[in-house]
Amino acid sequence: MSQPTARHRLDYQASPFQIDTLHLTVQLEDHATLVTAESAIRRTQAGAAELALVGEELALVSVSIDEVALSADEYRLEEGKLVLPMDRDSARLTLVTRIDPANNTALEGLYKSEGTFCTQCEAEGFRRITYFLDRPDVLARYTTRIEADKAAYPYLLANGNKVDSGDLDGGRHFATWVDPFPKPSYLFALVAGDFDLLEDSFTTASGRDVALQLFVDKGQKGRGHHALASLKRAMKWDEERFNLEYDLDIYMVVAVDFFNMGAMENKGLNVFNSKCVLADSDSATDAEFDRIESIIGHEYFHNWTGNRITCRDWFQLSLKEGLTVFRDQEFSSDLGSRAVHRIEAVKVIRGIQFAEDAGPMAHPIRPDKVIEMNNFYTVTVYDKGAEIIRMMHTLLGEQGFQKGMALYVERHDGQAVTCDDFVQAMEEASGVDLTLFRRWYSQSGTPVLTVEEEFDAEAAQYKLHLRQHTPATADQAQKQPLHLPVRLELLSTSGQALELTLDGQPFDGLYSLTEPQATLTFDGVNAKPVASLLQEFSAPVKLSFAQSEAEQIHLMSYANNAVARWDAAQGILANAVFVTLEGDTPDSDALARAFGQILADDRLDAALVAQMLTLPSVSTLMEMHSGCDVVALHQARRQLQTTLGSALAAEMELAYQRCVAANDAPHRALKNLLLEFKALCGESERVLAQYEQASNMTETLGALRAANQGLLPQRRQMMTDFEVKWRHDPLVMDKYFSQLATTPMEVVPLLEEINRAMSHAAFDIGNPNRVRALVGAFADGNPKAFHDASGAGYRFLTEQLIKLNGINPQCAARIITPLIGFKQHTGERQQQMRQCLEQLMALEDLSKDLYEKVSKSLS
């Protein structure tokens, strides 16, 4: 096979032709689905005489232009392309292609999931349905006629409104759908199957009624109510906060079992991974309920930020994704705890995105060079992208930001645009200069903000010296200074926030750093204050600021901002882990006093207390001290948990009892965290009792996790009980698989158990949820076994990747992540990991998806 080639952002060229309408007829059959595509072609570039359409895995049946059939010597079929003569200003093109949905294990294009036909077209899956201008700047009006067996597929769905339906010969039937809004091909969707249907309706602010329909597997109706209620909340919120209203008469959501991603925002017809919609309290945790609400919101919010206004090219992906993640985060924060949601977002950036910046796949939120687009649906594009939007929100304020949004929507509705068009609208509407800010779109890497303080008691002056520096990344050697909004607060020794005067002006707490360095001079400061810097994580940077433990404890108690208090707690805990790693003992009395006070304070939000007491993840800690021994780090983290658990045993017991009494989601979060501390201290009776008395999945899973993490004697009995109860429910079995895969056992016996699980009736290597629950959780969530010095964990992952390469390359490319970051590990491990990567590199049929990641990591 020829080596895959990269595409470059700067090579963008407008399409010489547009397609204004597309009439699709899809005659569904398992192995021989016929797709007839009639396009209205319009020439947009004088002199263009050939039309090049892209297509993959298609059998071409016939071609005609303006009703005249073309013979095979009148067109060219090249690798992935169909080139047609088109020396005319407009034409009707009719293509017939044949596809094989039942053998489509890649789950891109049209495929069969259990008994359901469904599609996934983002980013470049539409080209597996027909030859087309499969690029987001080609916007067409779609009409879709679906034909299928009526008994097996009573529901035939596509984008827009249903305009016709009826019976056909041979037990078949049809439905025709018209989508009035021009859209790019990646938003096309088609579903055919048999479902339980949940229905509701929503009246928009302007008084239009929208029919809401949720299609789920037969028997799953009871698990759909939360998603439908979430959808109505999302629709209302977008009207209130963003003044954006839904635009069609119907909004459909379909849950499917085989899906590569979480969900997809197809116009009027969202397709969801069933694990991201279905929930009841018996089978889903509180965290999953929250996640469903946010994903339902995310896909709904795309209707404006993504669908009505879309991306010009795929390098602009963050235009819709960064913005829509920002919007779903705000939705969750307005409806629930703002501090806890902010903390969750910060953890993703520090634990996952910083690692991506430090690894071989580093890229700016607007990438410059792509081999396989599917590899760029990353935490950088999504979550760092959302941080970039959030910084604009910080700089412009809510009012300025909303003015910018209004201008963006008014100016670009119905268009395919660039990230720069968005920034331009924000800048014009608010009058805030974003010239320098734009660098966030083109520069990769994590800036380090180094701060030194200086206090002059005599002059009553306090100074902060700020310096920014971005280390080189794999993709970019040279870095420039960025525009960093730095939110800060100075606390007095008694814990009061100081009224600040900066350079003679009243200071509101937000400083814009635009230079490589700057000094902030605060006057009238009589005693050395304690600085709380980068409050709310006001910029996605690493902060380097030497503070004593006493100062951090001061912040943890007195900072006015809850995220800042959490951040101080995390700093204390991270230091204590590193002290333990060095073989020293942290001052457990001081820790116990500080955290004991938090545990005892029943006025605090229990979910926030849980966040404060959660030790930074191993990946977050690795990002703080790259190159350290990951297994030793994991052990040190464990040791500190045990130390805290025994030092605070009495306080934890009291808090646990309070949580039992309160019995709501925030208290369940804290209760499960406390149970894990107890398990690590060997309190096995308590764990078993919670398992046996559990009245919802949150409590059950909390107990199961505690038992497994603490390797308690009861763990096997509990796991077996769980398996017997849920063996016929694959979504719940995913929790079982993940618990097993993340158990901190020795690698050899663990891999035996994992291999046995792979032949469990509920396991299916063709289902991405199962693969992620078992193989992904092992590689990503079990540092002890995965990184075992023998290399057995790496070799197991490699075996699975070789299988998945031929089944579902996108799924393979997702779970390879822990392997390609090998350069952050110790020498011995690097050797073992490199060997595995070389073995993959030598595969004859290595997919583009894996090739891009493996080749980058080895170079």
Catalytic residues: 299
Which residues 6+ apart lie within 8 Å of 352 measured at CB? 379, 383, 619
Q: Is 40 in the site for ligand 7MF (CB under 6 A)?
A: no
Q: Which is nearer to Zn ion, 370 or 712 (CB)?
A: 370
Q: Using alpha carbons, select from 596, 574, 599 the residue that is nearest to residue 586.
A: 574
- Which stretch, 16-24, 174-182, 221-229, 255-263, contacts ligand 7MF (CB under 6 A)? 255-263
**134 interacts with, out of Zn ion, ligand 7MF, none, CB within 5 to 8 A per kind:** none
Virtual CA dihedral for 81, 86, 87, 90, nearest 10 degrees? Answer: -140
Alpha-carbon distance 736 to 738, whole Å?
A: 5
> Closest approach of Cβ 270 to ligand 7MF, in Å?
9
- Which stretch, 16-24, 258-266, 470-478, 575-583, contacts ligand 7MF (CB under 6 A)? 258-266
Residues in the chain: 859
Q: Is 699 in the site for ligand 7MF (CB under 6 A)?
A: no
Strand partners, 21: 40, 141
Q: Which is nearer to ligand 7MF, 265 or 489 (CB)?
A: 265
Q: Which is nearer to ligand 7MF, 263 or 762 (CB)?
A: 263
Which residues 6+ apart lie within 8 Å of 796 measured at CB? 751, 754, 778
Alpha-carbon distance 31 to 34, whole Å?
A: 10
**594 interacts with, out of Zn ion, ligand 7MF, none, CB within 5 to 8 A per kind:** none
Q: Is 265 in the site for ligand 7MF (CB under 6 A)?
A: yes
> Closest approach of Cβ 284 to ligand 7MF, in Å?
16
Q: Is 325 in the site for ligand 7MF (CB under 6 A)?
A: yes
Using N-to-C axis directions, what is the helix angle for 606-613 and 562-581, rounded to 10°? 30
**122 interacts with, out of Zn ion, ligand 7MF, none, CB within 5 to 8 A per kind:** ligand 7MF
> Closest approach of Cβ 814 to ligand 7MF, in Å?
9
**688 interacts with, out of Zn ion, ligand 7MF, none, CB within 5 to 8 A per kind:** none
**377 interacts with, out of Zn ion, ligand 7MF, none, CB within 5 to 8 A per kind:** ligand 7MF
CA distances from 105 to 58, 406, 471, 765, 807 (A): 15, 42, 41, 10, 6
CB atoms within 10 A of CB 72: 9
**567 interacts with, out of ligand 7MF, Zn ion, none, CB within 5 to 8 A per kind:** none
Q: Which residue among 263, 278, 379, 652 contacts ligand 7MF (CB under 6 A)?
A: 263
Within 13 Å and on the Cβ side, how many CA atoms surround 508? 6
Q: Environment class of residue 531 by beta-carbon count within 10 Å: exposed (0-12), middle (13-18) or buried (19+)?
A: buried
Q: Which is nearer to ligand 7MF, 382 or 656 (CB)?
A: 382
Q: Is 124 in the site for ligand 7MF (CB under 6 A)?
A: no
Q: Which is nearer to Zn ion, 324 or 443 (CB)?
A: 324
Q: Is 290 in the site for ligand 7MF (CB under 6 A)?
A: no
* H-type alpha helices, 663-729: 665-680, 684-693, 697-709, 715-726
**264 interacts with, out of ligand 7MF, Zn ion, none, CB within 5 to 8 A per kind:** ligand 7MF
Beta strands in 204-339 (DSSP E): 209-216, 250-256, 263-264, 269-273, 310-311
> Closest approach of Cβ 749 to ligand 7MF, in Å?
34
- Contact between 757 and 730 under an 8 Å Cβ cutoff? The reply is no
314 secondary structure, DSSP code: G
Q: Is 295 in the site for ligand 7MF (CB under 6 A)?
A: yes
Per-residue contact track with ligand 7MF, 302 to 321, x per CB under 6 A?
Answer: x------------------x
Virtual CA dihedral for 73, 78, 80, 81, nearest 10 degrees? Answer: -50
> Closest approach of Cβ 338 to ligand 7MF, in Å?
18
Tokens (6 digits) for 88: 């005319």
Q: Which is nearer to Zn ion, 307 or 619 (CB)?
A: 307
Q: Which is nearer to Zn ion, 290 or 321 (CB)?
A: 321
**852 interacts with, out of Zn ion, ligand 7MF, none, CB within 5 to 8 A per kind:** none
- Which stretch, 44-52, 231-239, 294-302, 614-622, contacts ligand 7MF (CB under 6 A)? 294-302
- My answer on whether omega of the bond before 123 falls inside 30° of 0, hence cis, is yes
> Closest approach of Cβ 364 to ligand 7MF, in Å?
18
> Closest approach of Cβ 134 to ligand 7MF, in Å?
15
- Looking at beta carbons, which residue is closest to ligand 7MF? 377
Q: Which residue among 70, 83, 205, 261 contacts ligand 7MF (CB under 6 A)?
A: 261
Q: Which is nearer to Zn ion, 255 or 747 (CB)?
A: 255
- Which stretch, 320-328, 658-666, 784-792, 845-853, contacts Zn ion (CB under 5 A)? 320-328
Alpha-carbon distance 678 to 645, whole Å?
A: 6
Alpha-carbon distance 667 to 670, whole Å?
A: 5
Q: Using alpha carbons, select from 112, 120, 116, 107 the residue that is nearest to residue 187.
A: 120
Tokens (6 digits) for 212: 């809401």
**Dihedral sign (CA 195, 198, 199, 205):** negative
List of residues contacting Zn ion (CB under 5 A): 321, 324
Residues that bind ligand 7MF (CB under 6 A): 122, 261-265, 295, 298-299, 302, 321, 325, 328, 377, 382
